Structure 1
């Protein structure tokens, strides 16, 4: 089975991840590996994960988003998740997932402001 790859773009010292596919367990694991490799190669100091297109999450995907934040911190990078839909926020809360160590922002512009220390 061929998995769609989530693109990771480097903009300055920030890696930008825009998730435009339905997340499956395998695609989240691949994103985790790809992002870890990009952090190691680029030395980026920030990661923005845009989940605007994500309509639903389960406990595994929620935990993996938190794990991605932990991995980023090990590479001295901060993670900001942007574009979270209300239904996703409610689901994460109901599942008891707080995404510790990961900041959130309404959109990519606000996420960049967080990473650049303006908020």
Structure 2
């Protein structure tokens, strides 16, 4: 008997606990597992460099600054990620212009679509229209 395939593991960087919990629930519904939740730049950067995960969701503005250093660390490991922000693409530097960014609030369907796209190798920009989270 074969073991069931492992669920893709998602690293979440989000400094608002309730939003992180909601994302974790959405991920479970979508067939993903939460690998780790970081709420600060320091914790996020440490896990980005050393953790075991398949993709990441990065809130742009977090405790300690922005998630851009975390994005750089993840990119160095060749792991896909999605930015999320209450401001949409506003404030995302040109360096990251080709990366997915979903605007908060987003729906479970919008999150699922963005994750599928980055797992399939597409890093092209998409700014999902705000929707009810």
The normalised TM-score by structure 2 is: 0.45
**Greater RCO, 1 or 2 (C-alpha within 8 Å, sep 6+):** 1
More strand by share: 2
